[in-house]
């Protein structure tokens, strides 16, 4: 089983810088998914965002 992610450790929102190299098609797919299944809470939205970024290589887990 993989390492558990501590979502609270990510801190400042630096998405504009990190997402600048992500293709528009990938970002549009993410937005479409959020429109179809919107997060119910801010924390759920934050977790989904981090999970998506990890899955697509936008963000890495150190350690």
In the chain, what percentage of residues exceed pLDDT 70? 70
Region 28-47: mean pLDDT is 88
The confidence score (pLDDT) of residue 9 equals 65
Region 26-49: mean pLDDT is 87
In the chain, what percentage of residues exceed pLDDT 90? 3
- Judge whether residue 53 has pLDDT over 60: yes
For the stretch 5-31, pLDDT in tens is 666 666 665 566 777 778 888 888 888
DSSP 6-46: -GGG--S--HHHHGGGS-HHHHHHHHHHHHHS--SSHHHHH
């Amino acid at each position: 089983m993989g390492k558990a992610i501590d979502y609270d450790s990510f801190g400042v929102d630096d998405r504009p810088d990190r997402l600048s190299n992500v293709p528009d098609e990938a970002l549009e797919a993410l937005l479409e998914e959020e429109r179809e299944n919107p997060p119910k809470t801010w924390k759920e939205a934050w977790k989904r965002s981090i999970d998506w970024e990890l899955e697509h290589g936008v963000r890495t887990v150190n350690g």
